[in-house]
A and B are shown apart, each in its own frame.
Chain A
Amino acid sequence: MAGRPQLTANVTELPCEVSVPTRWRQIALTLVVVGLLVATFNLVLAWGLRHTTPNRGYWLVKTKFQMLRGLEAPVDRLVLGDSTCNQGVRPEILEARLGGSTINLCTFGPNGLVDDALMLDAYVRKFGPPKSVIVVHAPDVWSRPINYYTLSQAPLGDGDLRWLGGNGLLGASARLKIFLGEYVPIYSAGKGAAELLRHPFNSASRRFELEPNGFMKVDPDPENTRSDIDRVVRGLNMYAKPLSGSNAVALEAMAALADKEGFDLVLFHSPVCDLLIERPETMREYTALNVKLNAQAAKSSHVFVGAEAAWTWPAEQMQNADHLTTTSSVAYTVKMAEALAKLDHSTP
């Protein structure tokens, strides 16, 4: 630039790049050591996330599986499903209305019906058949394929893996994802890891609380509910089939177990916001899904559809598009109890 006309002038001393003499061995050593450091950190993080995760869904899966493992006596009624059911079905109301003991083991949507089937299988192996099983899912969850990264958050034992393998749900890709989900959080749980590092004391177990019967209390959030409608509709539009392959396999397996062991399996739709039911995508989904669920019920003497129509609530009584609050969960569970009583199949 010296001696040439300048677009600019009066510049202070500028930085430059000064390389340092390096040997190839130093570079190789750096790559190896950095690789080892990252691997070590990854394992520490995996350990940390196993004990304290900020992700509510992951925490639910872990906690509910632990509840199942920790059960010391059989219960009459198992409630399985996703997070809509986790905060929508109150076991004490079912107990009061229908009698018998009930536990809510619902987890969250990404695991679909597969972890319902895993839990049911594990329960039956441990205690024998319950008297009835209720399965509840949000409209978009029925159509979602299983997410093995989230499934890996469950403490999967040999029996669980055998069940997955026996039902054709444990191919090489699934095994890899379960491994990555369990042992490589820097790849599989980036957001959770980031949240844990940023807010180490903000774990899900500090923010949420489960009652001893598995029910979780939640406050209303009408604004969030209104804006959440599109999320569910997007989910409905994402998949063509109303019942995904992995969910169909899980449902089939649960139905087969119900027939074999002689307990009732009752399927319910989750509660939804009345604004969601107005969307044509939602109605289309329910129509197609009910055909599938009724077909499954027709094949088995122990499988029932609790109610074909979805029960709706105004946004003010919901946490989001398909999740109830503590107050409105009472009405949902009462409706469910009435439907079960009508079916006259659930009363132990």
Chain B
Amino acid sequence: MIFTSLVFLIFFAVVYAAYLGTQRHLRLQNALLLCASYVFYGYWEWRFLLLIVGSTLVDYWVARRLNGTDDSRRRKRLVALSVVVNLTVLGFFKYFNFFISSTKTALELAGWTSDLSTLDIILPVGISFYTFQTMSYTIDVYRRRMKPANSLLEFAVFVAFFPQLVAGPIERAQTFLPQIQKPRTITAEGVNAGLFLILWGFFKKAVIADNVAVVANTIFDDVGGYEGLDLLAGVLAFTIQIYGDFSGYSDIARGLAKLMGFELMLNFKLPYFALSPAEFWQRWHISLSSWLRDYLYIPLGGNRGGTVLTYRNLCLTMLLGGLWHGAAWHFVLWGAFHGTILVVYRLVPSPGRPLPGWTVVPRWAVMFGLTMVGWVIFRAASLQDIGTLLGGLGLQSSSVTAGLYADLLFFSWPLIVMQVFQHKTRNLLCVTRLPQPVLWVLYGLMLLWLLVFGMSHNTEFIYFQF
């Protein structure tokens, strides 16, 4: 079920009415949330619900066992069981074919023949998100950072909570589970913010991302057929598309949660204003980057083992972060690229004092350019396309250049204006502080644009595939 579909709007209206009707009955309300979440997921493919249920039962059981023993070897075995089960499921569904085909290619390159064959595996939607979420729970219980859930129902809601089930944010049990365990309070402030986030999220997805996607797809589907400025339009379009698409989903998820009295973590903090790769990862897909930091980078040693080891850890973390996005070499390359620029920026000696103001624009331009290079690697269909596209960027125009930029500008200017406003005020909810008449007009215009320019077909969110 896609947020931008009519089916979801009806589904949510029904669920929300029932949710409000059960406000005084926590268990009943949680049961409702679980049923709704399973319907939401099962609407796409009910058989894959078994994976979520399986993952829920295993991690619930492991955490309860962890809490019942102080034997460190037994605790290690238990947490290993959780990690192995989760990664095996993820590995099979997401990486099996990639591993087989890569092995086959490697063997063939070495002159060996192999009859390894891939399987016809469907990737369960959102598996990377809920797997990481449940794994972090057992690891946190293992690290004694939190007590395990006492109720299977509450834990099952934590795993399957429908607003963030298929594309995050990847919630932490330490902050999200307590919200499930106690009655939620729905406040006017929360609903006000939630409504803005839902509207803005829909706008970013259906008006901005889906429309600029037409420009991006035109270029990326035929990279050899366009001039330098056209290629740049395609790269800019994808840069806007992926942000609008993913942050739009996160906003809708967080907005829906706010309507129900929940608080999900912020996943984006204006990433295209970053001045360095380090800052970019503080602003982009924060729930993943902080997960990778806490459960991969730090266990690898973080920055405690000296400069070389820190760089190794950074690169390994980003490589695996890239691989998390999908079973393909260009995702690995994208991770490697980000790992590399993180290291390169660290190699530049710090002046030990704040840099002068005039450096902001060039630093931003360089970082934005690097981000776009990253998106070329991320989006291109092949390594050859990456080379063609990056090598072909330039100032040559063609008969379609003006049209491409006109479309791009027409659909992306609201995003630029909004982001500058949010950046200047340092408040992502700055719009809600506008005087009411201004707010009415703005909401009215956003809704109208959404109705008129929102792509009528239900385009899936890009991050569903991860």
Contact = CB atoms under 8 A, between A and B. Distances in A.
A20 B448 contact: no
B352 to A, nearest CB: 11
A8 B448 contact: no
A5 B304 contact: yes
Q: A18, A34, A38, A198: which has the most chain B beta carbons within 10 Å?
A: A34
B20 to A, nearest CB: 13
B189 A22 contact: yes
A30 to B, nearest CB: 6
Q: B276, B282, B317, B452: which has the most chain A beta carbons within 10 Å?
A: B452
A190 B428 CA distance: 30
A198 B314 CA distance: 47
26 contacts: A5-B303, A7-B292, A7-B293, A7-B302, A8-B277, A8-B279, A11-B276, A12-B279, A14-B282, A14-B426, A15-B269, A15-B423, A16-B426, A17-B193, A17-B427, A19-B429, A22-B189, A26-B188, A27-B188, A27-B195, A34-B444, A37-B441, A37-B444, A190-B451, A194-B453, A197-B453
A13 interface: yes
A20 B429 contact: yes
Interface stretch (B48-56, B232-240, B431-439): B431-439
Q: B282, B289, B423: which has the most chain A beta carbons within 10 Å?
A: B282
What interface size band does chain A fall in? 35 or more
B279 A17 contact: no
Given A7-B293, A11-B278, A17 B440 contact: no
B169 to A, nearest CB: 13
A9 B443 contact: no
B436 A26 contact: yes
A16 B427 contact: yes
Contact of A186 (B189, B314, B451): B451
A255 B76 CA distance: 84
A191 B456 CA distance: 9
Interface string A196-240: 011000000000000000000000000000000000000000000
Contact of B427 (A15, A27, A186, A198): A15
B429 A17 contact: yes
B283 interface: yes
A230 to B, nearest CB: 17
Contacts of A161: none
Given A5-B298, A17-B193, A194 B452 contact: yes
Given A14-B283, A38-B448, A9 B432 contact: no
Tell me the interface secondary structure of chain B in the complex.
Answer: helix
A173 interface: no
Contacts of A198: 410
A10 B314 CA distance: 15
Interface residues of B, number: 56
B192 A26 contact: yes
Contacts of B350: 10
A33 interface: yes
B127 to A, nearest CB: 24
Interface of A: 4-24, 26-27, 29-30, 33-34, 37-38, 41, 45, 186-187, 190-191, 193-194, 197-198
B172 to A, nearest CB: 13
B426 A20 contact: no
B429 A18 contact: yes
B447 interface: yes
Nearest to A18: B427
4 nearest A-B pairs in the assembled complex, by CB-CB distance: A37-B444, A8-B278, A5-B302, A7-B293
Given A190-B456, A194-B452, A22 B188 contact: yes
B401 interface: no
A20 B189 contact: yes
Contact of A27 (B192, B278, B281, B441): B192
Interface in B235-280: 266, 269-270, 275-279
A45 B452 CA distance: 10
Given A10-B279, A38-B448, A193-B452, A33 B410 contact: no
B427 to A, nearest CB: 5
A33 to B, nearest CB: 4
A34 B443 contact: yes
Contacts of A10: 276, 278-279, 350
